[in-house]
């Protein structure tokens, strides 16, 4: 499959048995020809270049030919007999009416209406489009005018692909087109010449000598639109993020091994004094662990249901400009723009363990999350969580727009299973509480050339990391972080209490002409101290080669932090230049 890199692409002569199980015996040319024929037989459903395995083919065709769309009441065509709703009525006259795109009436199947998931360009640009819709409109006008002049035959196709369908990111679409009027949407594919050409069907123009000319012309027009709109050599759709999260040690929760003594669950004020005086009651409270009975199993199931069916969709799609890929039990996969990544991770971790909500929309009390006020899509009741001490490990991949999806997914799975889950913890001591194993974050940045930056961070360090990294809004921290990444591994080593990394950082920071604010410097040094504390005691418990505890691992974290800050500064400059 060219989509996932998993299993054999479908071919009519492929027998899924014996030596032919993995597609052996079918020539590449025959496979290409078959999928070109599929594109001709089902125009709009396949583009001729992709090759799907049996699972993907079934899902792709199920909407129309499997009756899924019909069962959901989604009409597959646009025709004059369809009565528009009030929210789909023509827009009132305004200075923006010239940009509106009117969908033509047709009895042919309109596969655009069946799309429910965003393309990668829309995912990457979702937050930028939400925050700066006028900048997006300005860019679209520039590109439309260029296409009108240089590719007039493609103008209608361009408008249909970029205005006739939304981002498919709920929060962004609500901001851009709150009344859901036809022709007033935007789609992030307009930022990518490759995917835009693919969607417009330029790769299927029959005349061979015209095909590359049209594609190359469009590529040049998109690049010019980027520059004319103030984006320079980049665009809001260059980078996107995907997260794979999994609850830690779930087997111990199911077996009851994670349960504590009864004193943690019994409210003494609700127990009659006569019962408290019964022989053995104190022993029951203080030394007997709670048993995993039917009621506790129900509570566990309820916590997993509330997390996966309620809290994850709300956080991903209502609080942030993301989209849930799947969410079931303790497993979560979601995609979102780079801007939303840090705060999404904070919110997701808090929802899992019932911690303090970073956005203060929920009140955390007794292992429950209760909405402070009515929230869209959520019942106004207590939501069960896994409770204090519950952790989850996450693999996070930030990919450049040209990286194939199979490569991204392969890195995502290995980041979560082979890295984040393998971070060690510390032992309990008289002065230090234990830090649990796992509870890891593995960040992987995959650049356009294929190079990868990997950074590992223990989950409990995320809050302190965010306290200093969010200061980028006042000061560009990327030069400082790159400098620290180079200097600290050479200037400091792990100690039990000397905190050499923060001491060395202070010396380096004080040498700079442009000093950081006291609050920013204190927050950075506090995070360095927390990292050194974990790294030192983890090496003491798991050995000198414990994953993520070397000074060079800290350098990789600083480089990743600088990368994220650099991209945020780039986005802010796009808007500042436009205002100027």
Can you tell me the distance from the alpha carbon of 21 to that of 19, in angstroms, rounded to the nearest whole number?
A: 6
pTM of the predicted structure, to 2 decimals: 0.88
- pLDDT score of 83: 46
Can you tell me the distance from the alpha carbon of 119 to that of 321, in angstroms, rounded to the nearest whole number?
A: 13
The two tokens of residue 499 are: 């905190």
CA–chain centroid gap for 303, Å, is: 23
Residue 302 has pLDDT above 90, yes or no: yes
DSSP state for residue 477 in the 8-state scheme = -
DSSP state for residue 512 in the 8-state scheme = S
- pLDDT score of 102: 59
Highest mean pLDDT among 12-21, 64-73, 179-188: 179-188
Residue range 367-383, pLDDT digits in tens:
899 999 999 999 999 99
| Listed range (43-57, 63-77, 314-328) with the worst mean pLDDT | 63-77
Q: What are phi and psi of 491, to 5 degrees?
A: -105, -10
- pLDDT score of 92: 42
The two tokens of residue 6 are: 């998993």
SS3 for 485? helix
Highest mean pLDDT among 62-66, 268-272, 563-567: 563-567
Residue range 470-513, pLDDT digits in tens:
988 778 899 999 999 999 999 999 999 999 999 999 999 988 87
Residue 305 has pLDDT above 80, yes or no: yes
Residue 342 has pLDDT above 90, yes or no: yes
How does strand 239-247 pair with strand 392-400?
antiparallel
- pLDDT score of 76: 67
Residue 481: partners with Cβ closer than 8 Å, 6 or more residues away? 558, 559, 561, 562, 565
Residue 350 has pLDDT above 90, yes or no: yes
Can you tell me the distance from the alpha carbon of 257 to that of 289, in angstroms, rounded to the nearest whole number?
A: 9
- pLDDT score of 100: 58
For helices 551-579 and 133-150, angle between their N-to-C axes, nearest 10 degrees: 70
The two tokens of residue 443 are: 């960040």
DSSP character string of 116-169 = -S--HHHHHHHHHHHH-HHHHHHHHHHHHHHHHHH-GGGHHHHHHHHHSS--S-
Q: With contact defined as beta carbons under 8 Å apart, do 57 and 10 qualify?
A: yes
- pLDDT score of 65: 86
The two tokens of residue 401 are: 């727009």
Residue 207 has pLDDT above 60, yes or no: no
- pLDDT score of 158: 93
- pLDDT score of 115: 80
- Please name which of 134, 115, 125, 112 lies closest in space to residue 190, comparing C-alpha atoms: 125
How much is the average pLDDT of 175-199? 91
Angle in degrees, CA 253, 257, 260, rounded to 5: 100
- pLDDT score of 212: 52
H or E stretch covering 397: strand 392-400
Residue 518 has pLDDT above 50, yes or no: yes
- pLDDT score of 94: 44
- Tell me the C-alpha to C-alpha distance, in Å, between residue 84 and each of 92, 162, 344, 524: 15, 21, 37, 55
Largest CA distance in the chain: 94
- pLDDT score of 200: 86
Alpha carbons within 13 angstroms on the beta-carbon side of residue 574 total 25
For helices 133-150 and 120-131, angle between their N-to-C axes, nearest 10 degrees: 120
Q: With contact defined as beta carbons under 8 Å apart, do 468 and 542 qualify?
A: no
SS3 for 388? coil
Q: Which residue has the tokens 């499997």?
A: 66
- pLDDT score of 462: 98
Residue range 85-137, pLDDT digits in tens:
444 444 444 445 555 555 555 556 667 777 889 999 999 999 999 999 999 99
| Listed range (32-46, 140-154, 207-221, 545-559) with the worst mean pLDDT | 207-221
Q: With contact defined as beta carbons under 8 Å apart, do 383 and 368 qualify?
A: yes
H or E stretch covering 440: strand 440-446
- pLDDT score of 48: 83
- Tell me the C-alpha to C-alpha distance, in Å, between residue 302 and each of 8, 310, 314, 449: 39, 11, 17, 45
For residue 516, name the pLDDT band (cuts at 50, 70, 90). Answer: confident
Burial of 140 (0-12, 13-18, 19+ CB in 10 A): buried
In the chain, pLDDT over 90 holds for what percent of residues? 63
Can you tell me the distance from the alpha carbon of 58 to that of 62, in angstroms, rounded to the nearest whole number?
A: 6
Can you tell me the distance from the alpha carbon of 565 to that of 471, in angstroms, rounded to the nearest whole number?
A: 9
Phi-psi region of 387 (alpha: psi -120 to 50; beta: other; left: phi over 0): left
Q: What are phi and psi of 323, to 5 degrees?
A: -145, 130
Residue range 139-172, pLDDT digits in tens:
999 999 999 999 999 999 899 899 988 999 999 9
Residue 338: partners with Cβ closer than 8 Å, 6 or more residues away? 124, 127, 239, 240, 241, 398, 564, 567
Can you tell me the distance from the alpha carbon of 306 to that of 431, in angstroms, rounded to the nearest whole number?
A: 36
Burial of 5 (0-12, 13-18, 19+ CB in 10 A): middle
- pLDDT score of 88: 46
Q: Taken in order 225, 228, 233, 239, is the CA torsion positive or negative?
A: negative
- pLDDT score of 175: 96
Q: Taken in order 530, 533, 539, 541, is the CA torsion positive or negative?
A: negative
Residue 44: partners with Cβ closer than 8 Å, 6 or more residues away? 109, 110, 111, 112
For residue 70, name the pLDDT band (cuts at 50, 70, 90). Answer: confident
For residue 274, name the pLDDT band (cuts at 50, 70, 90). Answer: confident
């Amino acid at each position: 499959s060219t989509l996932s890199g998993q299993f054999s692409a479908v071919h009519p002569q492929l027998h899924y048995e014996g030596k032919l199980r993995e597609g052996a015996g079918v020539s590449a040319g025959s496979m290409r020809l078959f999928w070109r024929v599929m594109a001709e037989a089902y125009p709009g459903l396949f583009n001729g270049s992709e090759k799907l395995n049996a699972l993907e083919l079934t899902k792709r065709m199920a909407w129309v030919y499997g009756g899924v769309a019909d069962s959901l009441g989604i009409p597959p065509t646009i025709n004059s007999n369809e009565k528009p709703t009030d929210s789909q009525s023509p827009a009132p006259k305004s200075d923006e009416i010239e940009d509106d795109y009117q969908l033509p009436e047709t009895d042919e199947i309109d596969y655009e209406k069946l799309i429910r998931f965003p393309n990668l360009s829309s995912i990457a640009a979702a937050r930028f489009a939400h925050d700066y819709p006028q900048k997006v409109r300005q860019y679209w006008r520039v590109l439309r005018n260029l296409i009108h002049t240089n590719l007039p035959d493609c103008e209608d196709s361009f408008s249909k692909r970029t205005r006739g369908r939304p981002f498919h990111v709920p929060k962004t679409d609500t901001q851009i087109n709150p009344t859901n009027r036809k022709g007033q949407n935007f789609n992030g594919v307009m930022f990518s010449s490759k995917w835009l050409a693919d969607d417009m069907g330029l790769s299927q123009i029959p005349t061979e000598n015209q095909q590359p000319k049209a594609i190359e012309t469009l590529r040049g027009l998109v690049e010019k639109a980027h520059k004319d709109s103030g984006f320079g050599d980049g665009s809001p759709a260059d980078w996107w993020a995907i997260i794979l999260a999994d609850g830690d040690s779930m087997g111990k929760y199911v077996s009851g091994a994670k349960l504590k003594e009864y004193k943690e669950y019994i409210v003494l004020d609700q127990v009659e004094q006569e019962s408290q005086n019964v022989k053995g009651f104190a022993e029951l409270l203080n030394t007997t662990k709670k048993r995993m009975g039917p009621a506790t199993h129900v509570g566990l199931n309820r916590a997993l249901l509330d997390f996966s069916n309620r809290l994850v969709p709300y956080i991903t799609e209502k609080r942030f400009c993301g989209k849930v890929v799947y969410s079931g039990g303790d497993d979560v996969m979601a995609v979102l723009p780079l801007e939303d990544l840090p705060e999404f991770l904070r919110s997701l971790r808090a929802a899992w363990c019932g911690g303090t909500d970073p956005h203060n929309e929920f009140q955390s009390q007794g292992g429950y999350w209760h909405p402070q006020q009515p929230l869209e899509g959520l019942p106004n009741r207590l939501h069960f969580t896994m409770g204090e001490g519950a952790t989850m490990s996450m693999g996070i991949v930030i990919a450049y727009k040209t990286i194939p999806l199979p490569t991204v997914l392969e890195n995502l799975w290995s980041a979560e299973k082979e890295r984040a889950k393998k971070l060690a913890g510390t032992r309990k001591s008289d002065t230090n509480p234990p830090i649990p194993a796992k509870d890891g974050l593995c960040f992987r940045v995959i650049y356009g050339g294929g190079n990868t930056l990997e950074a590992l961070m223990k989950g409990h360090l995320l809050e302190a990391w965010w306290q200093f990294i969010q200061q980028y809004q006042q000061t560009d921290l990327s030069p400082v972080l790159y400098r620290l990444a180079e200097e600290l591994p050479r200037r400091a080593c792990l100690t039990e209490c000397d905190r050499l990394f923060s001491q060395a950082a202070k010396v380096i920071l004080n040498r700079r002409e442009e000093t950081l604010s006291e609050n920013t410097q204190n927050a950075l040094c506090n995070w360095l101290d927390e990292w050194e504390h974990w790294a030192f005691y983890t090496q003491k418990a798991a050995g000198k080669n414990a994953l993520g505890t070397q000074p060079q691992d800290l350098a990789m974290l600083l480089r990743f932090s600088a990368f994220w800050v650099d991209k945020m500064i780039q986005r802010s400059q796009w808007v500042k230049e436009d205002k100027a």
